[in-house]
A and B are shown apart, each in its own frame.
Chain A
């Protein structure tokens, strides 16, 4: 029995490979704004580390409030990072969830900002919504010890099955201008 998803996948070769860049950029930025949690991959030597964190975006730049730990040590030694973000923890393929599932993979360079760094101060003022968690803790300042990690994307892969309904393949690539 043919399904809508099966049909779309079957005629994948007839779909357009690239969305117009401005449209893709718009989708990516919107998706990054909609989501809240990311998994940050860092590595040191041959040891990878996946860490779940809350993030806040400004365009294709992500800001993360990080507690001390392996990820910070890794970034200080090796700024290369890769981040996965998705919008469904329980996709149920037999419903129409495939039409809603979206994901992004951000590849870039990370920097741990000094709390006194004007960039850190600006990020905490304008971009990072640290207030809800601070409020839950009964505080009116960011949790002590946490540092701002700034991730500048060099490349973003964007995944959305529903793009096939618009005539595009479900994986689109954005690259930062060199």
Chain B
């Protein structure tokens, strides 16, 4: 038996204490920068990779125009996946390091003039990208819409939780 095999065979179901789960999720959201949003309309799903910035369990995204915005204008339901490893090597114990979340939530499209848009633009850290383009925040182009994702449910996965006797999948239900 391997360490992972042993742990999986134990089928841990224990929940992390809520404050600990919150702390882990919020820390993870701050550590990562890329997410994939899933939107849908007319029974057709769409996956879009985007940079995000978080404030608590809220994510802010700066999208280019496209299908995702058409979808979200018609249907605000959104699912977001975030993970930390591009090439996990299972035989090198990367299962102890992989973490991921699935956020189920509602997206709001924010327009310039909306106070929430101004706030979103502040939370979103444009500077590195504008600098790479040789522009400043002031003269850089701003998106016509910002996306605000309000999480309703966060599924958090971390293999290493099993080392502490907890289920590797934890759920945080967020009350409105």
Contacts and interface: CB of A to CB of B under 8 A. Distances in A.
Interface residues of B, number: 49
Contacts of A132: 89-91
Contacts of A98: 132
Interface in B1-51: 1-2, 4-6, 8, 32-34, 36-41, 43-49, 51
Interface in A75-97: 78, 80-84, 86-94
B90 A80 contact: no
Interface residues of A, number: 49
Given A46-B77, A87-B86, A105-B48, A52 B100 contact: yes
A37 B128 contact: no
A24 to B, nearest CB: 19
A93 B48 CA distance: 19
A1 interface: yes
The B interface is mostly helix, strand or loop, or mixed, namely mixed
A23 interface: no
B75 A3 contact: no
B132 A46 contact: no
B91 A136 contact: yes
Contacts, number: 153
B90 A138 contact: no
B95 A51 contact: no
A155 to B, nearest CB: 12
A3 to B, nearest CB: 4
Contact of A5 (B84, B87, B133): B133
Nearest to A143: B8
Contact of B88 (A37, A84, A88, A103): A37
A111 to B, nearest CB: 15
A136 B36 contact: no
Interface of A: 1-3, 5-7, 9, 35-37, 39-43, 45-52, 54, 78, 80-84, 86-94, 98, 103, 105, 132-133, 135-139
Interface of B: 1-2, 4-6, 8, 32-34, 36-41, 43-49, 51, 75, 77-81, 83-91, 93, 95, 100, 102, 128-129, 131-135
10 contacts: A3-B133, A39-B49, A41-B79, A50-B47, A50-B81, A86-B49, A105-B47, A132-B89, A136-B5, A138-B1
